[in-house]
Amino acid sequence: MSKPDHRPAGEERESIHEQYVLGVRIVEHSPAADEPRYRFEAPKHQGLEFEDPEMAELYADVYFCANGFEEAGTGERGVPPVIIQAGRAVMAAYLLTQPHHDRLWVASFFGKKPERIERYVSWVRGRAEEIRDGAEARGME
């Protein structure tokens, strides 16, 4: 059961869902009377929105594992070359964040079982955390 929305008509709300190093963040954006959306923001990266905060967080993890990337110019169904170069696990996690792709679709794409995709995602999340921790340890904000 959802909470009643007591905001005046037309009022929107934004808050930081997750703040990372190097100016990367996820902003929760709640248009008036709509379900919240989660916008990934990074320097030199067009904002991308997600319905699910977990997918926005995974996208951020992919961003860090690929050492940043820009989707502009890759086309509606393209994959940025840096994602492909970052390896199978990063590419699988990236594809998982795309609309209409789920773990079964990604597993089928790679010819693997869904459990393997889960391991890829776990690796990407762990590696991204290591990268962010390393950046913080070096004083990068």
Question: What are 77-132's pLDDT values in tens digits?
Answer: 678 889 999 999 999 999 999 988 999 999 999 999 999 999 999 999 999 999 99
More confident call, 11 vs 127: 127
Q: Please say if the pLDDT value at position 61 is more than 90.
A: yes
As a whole number of angstroms, the distance between CA 34 and CA 136 comes to: 35
Note whether 21 and 135 are within 8 A (CB): yes
Say whether pLDDT at 75 is over 70: no
- Which pLDDT belongs to residue 30? 85
User: Are 25 and 18 in contact, with CB atoms under 8 Å apart?
Assistant: yes
d(CA 22, CA 24) in angstroms, rounded, equals: 6
